[in-house]
Amino acid sequence: NAISVVRRTVGATNPAEAEPGSIRADFGLEIGRNLVHASDGPDTAETETALWFGADLIEWPRSVDGWIFE
């Protein structure tokens, strides 16, 4: 599950409670300045991704597509 792996890598919201080796434990200063955001589930991930990235940044024609026939 990508979301759980990313959230574990990021660490707890409070850097003081984050697991050593996580991004927030190693680099976060406080709850409000914890350095990084990670969505908590698929629905919020989709919503939050749409805030920053439009469809034109996610979808593009691949050069290999002209050479592969299915």
Annotated active-site positions, please? 37
* Location of structure tokens 């026939």: 69
CB 7 within 8 A of CB 40: yes
Which residues does residue 24 pair with via DSSP β-bridges, in sequence order? none
Under DSSP, the state recorded for 63 is G
CB 34 within 8 A of CB 28: yes
